């Protein structure tokens, strides 16, 4: 990315980061100025793959911390709805952003898609679901936007240094590889 592109991305991203606040009241801009952020956008909490994401990040949380990277989750639920899920996966202390309207998901900097119901039931999704996501993480009530796609963004120096946009809800990013 050229210096001009980096500057343009920073000028677009900075106000968004300033306006986005975690449930603890911190702005994303303050957090990214302290250290890099792995910003993880979740689907709805009834989704087995959302729970799988929480489990995957929980397993590498100490490694991310060792590397100086802070995890911040963005979710579509209320803080009260989200808390038991983060507690269950030992992520009670991570910063989270409640975004029930999906404003951050739709922001031009992140551009996370909403998909049709047909796209949610693709064969790759069913295979992953049957192979273990449901058995390991269960399934629950859908209270948030089930058509919202997840994504992961590695933020450093007020810019997106790397990203992963899911093609299916069953995709499993390599979170540590995103840090390079």
The whole-chain average pLDDT of the chain stands at: 84
Has residue 136 got a pLDDT over 60? no
Q: What is the pTM of this model?
A: 0.83
Query: CATH code for 3-179?
Result: 3.40.30.10
Of the candidates 164, 167, 166, the residue with the CA atom closest to the CA atom of residue 38? 164
What is the rounded distance in angstroms from the CA atom of residue 161 to the CA atom of residue 75?
Answer: 21
**Mean pLDDT along residues 22-38:** 97
Q: What is the domain partition of the chain in residue ranges?
A: 3-179
pLDDT at 43: 86
Main-chain dihedrals φ then ψ at residue 160, nearest 5 degrees: -85, 110
Percent of the chain topping pLDDT 90 = 63
Instruction: Report pLDDT digits (tens) over 87-111.
Output: 999 999 999 999 999 999 999 999 9
Q: What is the 3-state secondary structure (H, E, C) of the chain?
A: CCHHHHHHHHHHHHHHHHHCECCCCCEHHHHHHHCCEEEEECCCCCCHHHHHHHHHHHHHHHHHHHCCCEEEEEECCCHHHHHHHHHHCCCCCCEEEECCCCHHHHCCCCCCCECCHHHHCCHHHHHHHHHHHHHHHCCCCCCCCCCECCEEEEEECCEEEEEEECCCCCCCCCCCHHHC
């Amino acid at each position: 990315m050229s210096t001009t592109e980096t500057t343009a991305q920073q000028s677009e991203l900075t106000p968004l980061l300033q306006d986005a606040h975690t449930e603890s009241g911190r702005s994303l801009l303050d957090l990214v100025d302290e250290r890099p952020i792995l910003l993880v956008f979740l689907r709805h909490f009834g989704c087995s793959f959302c729970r799988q994401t929480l489990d995957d990040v929980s397993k590498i949380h100490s490694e991310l911390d060792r590397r100086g990277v802070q995890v911040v989750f963005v979710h579509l639920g209320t803080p009260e709805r989200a808390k038991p899920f983060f507690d269950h996966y030992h992520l009670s202390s991570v910063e989270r952003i409640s975004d029930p309207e999906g404003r951050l998901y739709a922001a031009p900097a992140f551009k996370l898609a909403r998909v049709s119901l047909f796209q949610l039931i693709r064969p790759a999704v069913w295979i992953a679901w049957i192979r273990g996501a449901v058995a390991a993480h269960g399934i629950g009530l859908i209270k948030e936007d089930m058509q919202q796609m997840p994504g992961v963004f590695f933020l450093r120096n007020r810019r997106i240094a790397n990203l992963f946009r899911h093609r299916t809800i069953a995709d499993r990013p390599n979170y540590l590889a995103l840090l390079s």
